[in-house]
Structure 1
Amino acid sequence: MAPMTAQRWIIHLPTKLTSADEAAALAVTLRDSLGHVPVIDFGETTLSEEDSQFVRTRVWCDARLDGAGRCGHLNDHDGPCAA
């Protein structure tokens, strides 16, 4: 039997922003300013419209890189993945 892992919690942070681009830009700003906080998993950040919260769009690619963590580019980026 696999060991049990602790349940993770999600903080839903509503905004007054009216476009996905603005919301993604806020996510980038939050990652830039709070990226040093080890308990925040910015790679898993998603966006949703207020009335469609179960339809989520990833902000970052977050693909695994060989020995270098995960891709830090925006989702659907052009070119190769990079930290």
Structure 2
Amino acid sequence: MTAPHWIIHLPTTLTSQDAATGLAAALRDSLAHVTAFDFGETTLSEEDSQHLRHRVWCDARLDDGRRCGLREGHPGPCGALPTR
């Protein structure tokens, strides 16, 4: 049996889903080197509706084993974000 993974719920003072998505992208970009984070599984929810979550990233598997780094519901084919 594997140990359970933990979720960090980080409330913000942001008042729009677009602003929260932008913050999630900034956090992913600045903390991508920290292997403890799985940014592909990032979800957002309103403060009083935490049971209703919105995926931020598509996260579909690509042919090379990586995951799609584009926003959920993106137009066109999936693709990974460029590596730094």
TM (normalized to structure 1)?
0.94
Higher strand share: 1
Number of positions where the alignment pairs a residue of Structure 1 with one of Structure 2: 80
Q: Which moved more, 1:66-75 or 1:47-56?
A: 66-75
2:62 to 55, 61, 65: 65
Report what 1:31 is aligned to.
Answer: 28
State the identity %.
69
Report what 2:5 is aligned to.
Answer: 8
> What is the CA-CA distance between 1:5 and the residue it aligns to?
1.6
Instruction: Give me the CA root mean square deviation.
Output: 0.6
Report what 1:77 is aligned to.
Answer: 74
Displaced runs of 4+ in structure 1, greater than 3 A? none
Q: Find the aligned partners of 1:29 and 1:11 in 2 and give their Cα distance.
A: 17
**Structure 1 unaligned blocks of 5 or more:** none
